[in-house]
Structures are given as C-alpha cells and as structure tokens.
Amino acid sequence: MLRSKIRLAARKHDLSEIAASLAPYAAQQATGQGRRYPEPPPAYRSEYQRDRDRIIHSTAFRRLVYKTQVFVNHEGDLYRTRLTHSLEVAQIARTAAVALRLNEPLVEAISLAHDLGHTPFGHAGQDALNKCMRDYGGFEHNLQSLRVVDELESKYAEFPGLNLSFETREGILKHCSARNARELGALGNRFLLRRQPGLEAQLVDVADAIAYNNHDVDDGFRAGLLGLEQLRDQALFGRHYDEVHARYPALEDRRLIYEVIRRMIGYIVTDLIENTAAAIGELGLQSIDDVRIHGKPLVGFSADVLDMHAGLKAFLHENLYRHEKVRSMNEKTRAMVEVLFGFYMADPKRMPGWYRDRAVANMQSRARTVADYISGMTDRFAIAEYDRLGL
C-alpha cells in the first residue's frame, strides 16, 4: 500500500511538473480530448508518451524501414527510408517543440506516426493505388495512416487499433476532404469548421517538409542525380555552400555536402522557431483553443526563408523527383501495384487469412481490404510477392 501511494505521488508530481513547463497554448494532457476507448491512466508515462510507445511497438512502424522515401529500397542501403525519415522529422520537431515550450512527447508521437499509411514505392505507389481505388473512394496515405492506428493494428484485447489520444490522431490527419471529414466525427470537425489543429500538429507538418527537402538533397547527390553546380544556384544551399567553402576550401565533396546540409537545417529551424515565437507573442495566446480558432497556421518561416525553402522544393521536384532514373523506376513500381491490386480483387483468397476474411462479397469492402493489404507491404515484399505470383 505504501509503495502504491509513493508511486502515485511521484506520478502526480511528475505530470504537474510537465504541465508547468509547457506554454499555456501547448497541448495539455489534463485538458486533452482523450481516447476513443477509455483506459486507466499509465503509471509512469504521460498519455502522449504512451501514444509514442505504442507507435514504436506497432507492426506498421517496423515496416517503414523497408519503404521508399525517394529511392526504392533495393537500390541502396544508405538512402533514406520512411523509417529514417520519420526519425529525422521527430528530431527536428522535438528541437523546435522544446524551444517553443510545446508538448514534446506529443510532437514525437505525431512525427513517428505520420507516414504509417504510406504504400510501398513512395508517392508512385500511392498514385497507383489511388487510381485503382478511384471507384471505391480513392486512397490517400494521410487518411490511411489514421486508419492504421484506428483499425488495422491488431494488438490489444479490448479495442481495435492503438487507441491513441485525440491530439495524436489530429496531428496524423494533416488534411482531409469534407466527405471524409463527415465520417470522422469530432476528429473531422476542424476541416468542416475550417479550424486549425494544435501547434504540435502544425509543427510536425513543417518539420516533415524541412526533413525531406534537406535530406533529399543528400540522397540525390549521393545517387549522382544532383550536382554541386546545380545545387549552388539554389539560394538556401548556395549561401551555406559559400560559407563552408570559404572556411574549408580543401574539403572533399562528401564532407562538404554534409556540412552544408547541417547548416541549412540549423538555419531554417532557427528561423522557424523565432518566426513562430514572434507570431504567437503578437497574439497573446492563452490556450490551445485560441490556436484552433485562429484563421491560419501559426507555425512557419519568415518570408525570406519561406521563399528559399519553396525554391529548393521546386528544384528537387524538377531535378530529382522527375529525373529520368527516378521516373523510370516509378513507372515500373506503379505498374506493379496496379497488377497486384487487380490480382487480389479477382482472387481475394490469395491474401492472408485476416485480409481474406474481411474481403467479403461487397466490392467496396473488398477493394478497401485489398488497398489495406497492398499499402501495408514493404518495397521488397511487394516485389517478392509480384515475382512469386508470376505476374
């Protein structure tokens, strides 16, 4: 009994200290909107730490290690995957969260979960699956990530999915059509009412863009698809390249690129923190409700840095994502996903038992189940399955 009282006192003390360290506009566990299925509170963790831990232990999270970011998994061991990308997003977002006195465990949970619904083969796989699902409600990886944590993960006796907190689920669902929002109850209301999510969700959204913009430069250079001369013409890269080259004129390209990219990230994250802090300060926010009713996102860059960030994104779209080598592989993987979808729609019994049992006679249900199965595949499993089936 004494041990239980000490433990409870320690937990209450820890949670009160956490709450006191947060800004008034941060997400607070005490005023959070809870879980879909009520549960006893965790003993030594906050609710958002529990969310993070459930995500890390999920099957979908482990699969991210073999899912494409830009380069298909078998093309090289050193390129980013969805898993390493998610970790990099979490690192960037956590840094900014601490500086802005936001809820760091919530930011981490959202960061680690935001890509759980991604298909194999990156955006090419998503585009192919969306095309296949055109007559069945479409497919969007953001909504699929929510579906994964709400329904598809199957680990707990008392509820489906991971039963995450409302605020974590809110952060996972970055955008949503009005049609889909109407089916999501309270979670979809902000899209219908044109309100904003909490600052933690806004922060992860921007950290996601920072991570893929800067790290795709590294992967593109490593793959030989982007050259230094091209990159130097980009304002964000060019200003830091000039600084590094002036200070270390004999530095070889490999270390030079790393040095430039780390400075780019530091520069843009610093701007994000300072610009966001200024925007928050001007409004005098007193609660997360003040954040939600504000007309536009509050987390963002200054005008100059936004221009550089957008310029780099446009450059990567034109010179990396649309590079002939990347496009050629994307065409192959798109075709692979379409063939797999057609095969399982025609013969759902070829899917594993859990999926096979859900693929009932109703074609709408069958299509969604096939999409669930294919989107959960890793790159290498999809390739192996395609070959095994002789497609």
User: Among residues 168, 161, 187, which one has the least CA distance to residue 176?
Assistant: 187
DSSP state of 107: H
Return all residues near 179 (Cβ < 8 A) that are at least 6 apart.
none
Residue 174 lies in a domain: yes
Residue 219 lies in a domain: yes
How far is residue 221's CA from residue 264's CA, in Å, rounded to a whole number? 15
Residue 116 lies in a domain: yes
Residue 220 lies in a domain: yes
Calculate mean pLDDT across residues 359-375.
Answer: 91
Cβ atoms of 268 and 279 within 8 Å: the answer is no
Quick one: pLDDT at residue 362?
86
- Domains: count for the chain: 1
More confident residue, 241 or 14: 241
Q: CA of 44: how far to CAs of 2, 10, 47, 49, 162, in Å? A: 17, 9, 10, 9, 19
Task: Give tens-digit pLDDT for 302-348.
Answer: 999 999 999 999 999 999 988 999 899 899 999 999 999 999 999 99
Quick one: pLDDT at residue 78?
59
Calculate mean pLDDT across residues 346-368.
Answer: 88
Residue 369 lies in a domain: no
How far is residue 374's CA from residue 130's CA, in Å, rounded to a whole number? 12
User: Among residues 240, 299, 261, which one has the least CA distance to residue 99?
Assistant: 299
12 pLDDT higher than 60: no
Confidence of residue 21 (pLDDT cuts 50, 70, 90): confident
Task: Give tens-digit pLDDT for 145-184.
Answer: 999 999 999 999 999 999 999 999 999 998 888 888 898 9
* The total number of residues written for the chain in this structure: 391
Residue 372 lies in a domain: no
Amino acid identity at 57: H
Cβ atoms of 375 and 129 within 8 Å: the answer is yes
CA triplet 329, 330, 332: central angle to 5 degrees? 65
Residue 378 lies in a domain: no
- Among 75-79, 143-147, 190-194, the range scoring the smallest mean pLDDT is 75-79
Neighbours of 343 (CB within 10 A): 17
What's the domain range around 212?
37-232+268-304+319-326
How far is residue 117's CA from residue 201's CA, in Å, rounded to a whole number? 17
> Mean pLDDT of all residues in the chain?
91
More confident residue, 360 or 310: 310
Residue 358 lies in a domain: no
Calculate mean pLDDT across residues 70-95.
Answer: 81
CA triplet 121, 152, 387: central angle to 5 degrees? 40
72 pLDDT higher than 80: no
Report the CATH number that the domain containing residue 136 is assigned in CATH. Answer: 1.10.3210.10
